[in-house]
Amino acid sequence: MDEHLAELFQLASVEEDVTDEIIASIYTRLRRLAHGLLAHEAPGHSLQTTDLVHEFYLRFADDQTKWQNCGHLFGSAARSMRQILVNRAIRRKRLKRGGGDRGLDIDLDRLAASQSDDLIVDLDLALKRFAEEAPRKAEIVDLRWFGGLSIEEIAVALSLSTATVKRDLRFARSWLYRDICNANK
């Protein structure tokens, strides 16, 4: 990230009111993150990229969270935006009520952007269970699948090697796939 943003994070540790300036500095990147999350939503959905970014901002503008760095901020943004989409999927699913059994057609690299409301809800529940067992690996999943960060960016943000990030993602992919399949039996 650029020097100005690094200075803002340092300033945030001593001053209270720099959240707006930090968000303004990374607004474009947050829009790309939101756009990536919405890219595979079902056709006709009403949530737009700007709406998702602004919803994130509203949730965190008054929050007293002190972001230590960009990785922490993007992790918060990814989790928040994921939760917004999960909540919407739960509401839509509640309206449908039922619909019988469904097959589990799952591509874990695109799982975060799934069109299926059921699969989004299943993924959210599986990630919560996974976070209880392996918090660091769950954070890596959030940063990669929902935050859109590269392997290298995750490694820097979490002070890990790229090999560790890749290994943790492979493990997470297997764990989540097995958990979702078992939950749907």
Q: Which of 94 and 126 is assigned the larger pLDDT?
A: 126
Q: Quick check: 157 pLDDT over 80?
A: yes
CB hemisphere CA count around 183 (13 angstroms): 17
Among left, alpha and beta (phi > 0; psi -120 to 50; other), residue 44 is: left
Residue type, 165: V
* Mean pLDDT, rounded, for 67-76: 73
Q: What is the pLDDT of residue 77?
A: 80
Residue 96 CA to residue 107 CA, distance in Å, equals: 24
Overall size of the chain counted in residues: 185
Which CA distances in Å does 4 have to 10, 21, 23, 181? 10, 10, 12, 46
Q: Quick check: 130 pLDDT over 90?
A: yes
Q: What is the pLDDT of residue 169?
A: 93
* Mean pLDDT, rounded, for 53-57: 81
Q: Which of 27 and 20 is assigned the larger pLDDT?
A: 27
Q: What is the pLDDT of residue 73?
A: 74
Q: What is the pLDDT of residue 94?
A: 66
Token pair recorded at residue 33: 């993150």
Helix (H) or strand (E) holding 120: helix 117-133
- pTM score, whole prediction: 0.53
Q: Residue 42 gets which letter from DSSP?
A: P
Q: What is the pLDDT of residue 110?
A: 53
Token pair recorded at residue 142: 């959030």
Non-local (6+) Cβ contacts of 110 within 8 A are 40
Q: Which of 160 and 42 is assigned the larger pLDDT?
A: 160
Q: Quick check: 132 pLDDT over 90?
A: yes
Which CA distances in Å does 91 have to 16, 121, 179? 36, 11, 23
78-111: pLDDT as tens digits: 888 888 888 887 777 765 554 334 444 445 455 5
162-176: pLDDT as tens digits: 999 999 999 998 899
How does residue 67 score in pLDDT terms, banded at 50, 70 and 90?
Answer: low
Residue 133: count of CB within 10 angstroms of its CB: 10
Q: Quick check: 71 pLDDT over 60?
A: yes
Q: Which of 44 and 151 is assigned the larger pLDDT?
A: 151
